[in-house]
């Protein structure tokens, strides 16, 4: 089925309905705090964006619930030890449990999010890796001896530093990776010895709540973790509570600015999206580039911070690459998420699909041409390839976060680099070329957190420092790097006194022993 046709919605068979019910029959309560699953006020509905089917209900909480949750974690941190060895063992157990429950988690992700079952399975595998890396990051918590000998102020002193938890981490996560992005915050926070309050997206909370229960089963103390989804004043209560020491947020820049204004003098780590460019040089492999562009632009229906949004192609290859990308895009199959033949599922809501539709229509009105897609079907938006797009159109100037890619020509590489950098974002970028000298020169000039050579921007290895420049965020994720962000060095210094006096004491002890 081509991308110009969306698979017709059809009633679920009895077997499919029973299978879906089984995936959600054993979900935990609608929030977790004070060491208990909360089952009152289950008023927030969670629905499948594909067909609107009700999947479950979670708690509508209050700011008082947040205060109780944080207070419980704060008391636990002060009163109860959780040694590093036990933290590592809990995360190692979580790796095993998630492997055993992989199919169930993949089905929860696919049901409540935009991901196809294949994409959901891939996310579970990545989460297993993230947990494994988190357990292994216990090695990052080793300190070192302080070199006082080479300092006038250090005379007569020895010391060392160790890495200590910051305290309580607030983890605020988005809908597009409802499992692995939660793990990228909780794994490093927990191995670092912190307590965590998770606030998952209201659109995909079931995955996060199921993950919290898995961590509890693995041995994470109930006093170290809480999860609250939504309710009046909940978000503000989480970020403004003075007992929260660090906020780790993934979402949009506008929300991040509100969080920073409300939170005050707190450490904030933020990953805020991107408007990612790929540059295809004159000596590039056009077929390889086009294949990677299609894959990088339309995964998770384009709802990916690393998604390829702008492609700058040398004029000598422009027509060929545009034709190849167009053909590859038209070959994608849009359909039901649980169908393994589906390449692209719906957006997270019909409202988001309408927004993408409006942005494309605006670009068309300004002169853009549509080479594939360009149509909406309820919450689905067809994978769309645009050309002739003005530089001030929203699909170029802002983050689309939908299945739209624009192909644009360039003559001089310096112009492509300038255009790629001409955005408020700076997350990642890709470049295709056979020249290592050119690749490294361009990589140095691109003002982004990562440059991927002979690939698009859509590459993330969970162990690498992940983040960007400008409005793409503050700080870095990537397990080892997040552990460092979520811990602080603490110095211990011993004053040994005057060296002459120490020798005299030693001599006195020797004389006494001889007598």
Q: Which residues are catalytic?
A: 271, 305
Nearest one of 487, 392, 495 to 166, comparing CA atoms: 487
Residue 377 exposed, middle or buried by CB count within 10 Å (0-12, 13-18, 19+): middle
Other Cβ atoms closer than 10 A to 152:
6
- 267: tokens are 């450490």
3-class secondary structure, 211: helix
377, 6 Cβ separation under 8 angstroms: yes
User: 381, 256 in Cβ contact below 8 A?
Assistant: no
Q: How far apart, in whole angstroms, are the C-alpha atoms of residue 395 and residue 319?
A: 21
| Other Cβ atoms within 10 Å of 318 Cβ, number | 19
Q: How far apart are CA 38 and CA 72, in angstroms?
A: 14
Close Cβ partners of 421 (under 8 Å, ≥ 6 residues apart): 445, 446, 447
CA torsion sign, 277 to 443 to 293 to 323? positive
Pair of tokens at residue 289: 């580039």
Tokens of 280: 């295809």
Measured from the Cβ of residue 188, the count of other Cβ atoms closer than 10 Å reads 31
Strand locations in 52-156 (E):
54-58, 144-145
Of 54, 95, 123, the C-alpha closest to 214 is 95
Determine the Cα–Cα distance for residues 302 and 385; give it in Å rounded to an integer.
12
Quote the CA–CA distance of 329 and 327 in Å, as a whole number. 5
Q: How far is CA 368 from CA 319, 356, 403, in A?
A: 16, 15, 16
- In the block, residue with structure tokens 């255009």: 419
User: In angstroms, rounded to a whole number, what is the distance separating the alpha carbons of residues 478 and 467?
Assistant: 9
DSSP count for the chain of H helices, then E strands = 17, 24
Closest CA to 377 of 342, 344, 405, 350: 350
DSSP state of 251: S
Task: Please state, in angstroms and rounded to a whole number, the distance separating the CA atoms of residues 191 and 482.
Answer: 10
Residues contacting residue 481 through CB under 8 Å, at least 6 positions apart: 465, 466
DSSP states of 356-376: HHHHHHHHHHTT-EEEE---E
> How many CA atoms does the CB half-sphere of 203 hold within 13 Å?
20
Provide the token pair at 504.
């005299």
């Amino acid at each position: 089925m081509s991308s110009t046709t969306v698979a017709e919605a059809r009633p679920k068979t009895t077997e499919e309905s029973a299978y879906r019910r089984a995936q959600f029959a054993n979900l935990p309560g609608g929030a977790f705090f004070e060491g208990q699953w909360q089952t009152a006020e289950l008023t927030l509905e969670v629905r499948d964006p594909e067909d609107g089917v009700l999947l479950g209900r979670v708690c509508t909480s209050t700011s008082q619930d947040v205060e109780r949750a944080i207070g419980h974690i704060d008391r636990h941190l002060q009163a109860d030890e959780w040694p590093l060895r036990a933290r590592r063992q809990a995360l190692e157990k979580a790796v095993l449990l998630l492997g055993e429950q992989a199919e169930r988690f993949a089905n929860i992700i696919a049901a409540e999010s935009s991901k196809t079952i294949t994409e959901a399975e891939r996310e579970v595998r990545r989460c297993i890796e993230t947990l494994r890396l988190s357990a292994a990051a216990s090695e990052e918590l080793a300190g070192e001896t302080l070199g006082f000998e080479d300092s006038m102020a250090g005379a007569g002193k020895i010391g060392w530093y160790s890495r200590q938890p910051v305290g309580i981490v607030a983890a605020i996560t988005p809908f597009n990776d409802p499992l692995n992005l939660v793990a990228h915050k909780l794994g490093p926070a927990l191995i670092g010895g912190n307590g965590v309050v998770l606030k998952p997206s209201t659109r995909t909370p079931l995955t996060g709540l199921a993950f919290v229960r898995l961590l509890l089963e693995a041995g994470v103390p109930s006093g170290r973790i809480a999860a609250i989804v939504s309710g009046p004043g909940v978000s503000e209560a989480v970020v403004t509570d003075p007992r929260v020491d660090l906020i780790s947020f993934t979402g949009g820049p506008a929300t991040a600015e509100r969080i920073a204004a409300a939170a005050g003098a707190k450490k904030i780590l933020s990953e805020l999206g991107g408007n990612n460019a790929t540059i295809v040089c004159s000596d590039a492999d056009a077929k390889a580039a086009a294949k990677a562009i299609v894959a990088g632009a339309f995964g998770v229906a384009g709802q990916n911070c690393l998604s390829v949004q702008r492609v700058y192609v040398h004029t000598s290859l422009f027509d060929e690459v545009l034709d190849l990308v167009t053909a590859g895009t038209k070959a994608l199959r849009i359909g039901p998420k649980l169908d393994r033949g589906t390449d692209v599922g719906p957006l997270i809501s019909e409202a988001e699909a309408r927004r993408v539709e409006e942005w494309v229509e605006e670009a068309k009105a300004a002169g853009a041409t549509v080479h594939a897609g360009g149509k909406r079907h309820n919450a689905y938006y067809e994978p769309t390839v645009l050309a002739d797009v003005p530089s001030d159109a929203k699909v170029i100037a802002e983050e689309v976060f939908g299945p739209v890619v624009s192909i644009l020509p360039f003559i001089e590489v310096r112009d492509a680099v300038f255009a790629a950098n001409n955005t408020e974002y700076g997350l990642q970028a890709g470049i295709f070329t056979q020249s290592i000298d050119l690749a490294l020169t361009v990589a140095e000039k691109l003002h982004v957190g990562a440059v991927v050579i002979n690939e698009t921007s859509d590459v993330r290895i969970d162990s690498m420092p992940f983040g960007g420049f400008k409005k793409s965020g503050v700080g870095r994720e990537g397990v080892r790097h997040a552990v460092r962000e979520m811990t602080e060095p603490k110095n211990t210094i011993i004053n040994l006194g005057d060296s002459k006096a120490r020798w005299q004491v030693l001599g006195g002890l020797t004389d006494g022993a001889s007598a």
